[in-house]
Structure 1
């Protein structure tokens, strides 16, 4: 059973978190490169949020959602 938990630890530490470790090592070598990568991820997240908000606005403008008070029984 102990080996099972050690294998889970090995999976997370050596495989799944390897990109974060490389980013941490990059920060020690070149701060501007690490910050640039972080800003790229932030821009991707911002673009995804804007896209999602535009999709929500499109569905809201089409009045496709049932907004009546009796739409849910718990209301």
Structure 2
């Protein structure tokens, strides 16, 4: 089940990269937004992407654990 661990590691790394991307998007939105309403809308979008990236990372971790337990 080594292939399952490797796939899980790649999926987890993609999720972590997504989380870092969300942090950068939030910082950029905070710097560039002049209006509170615009900032709120941008940050709502970032929250949705953040939850997706977190879910992807958790899915990858589950794949890694499954691969280890099945080995």
Greater C-alpha radius of gyration: 1
The structure with higher relative contact order (CA 8 Å, sep 6+) is 2
TM bin (shorter chain): 0.3 to 0.5
TM-score norm. by structure 2 comes to 0.47
TM-score norm. by structure 1 comes to 0.45
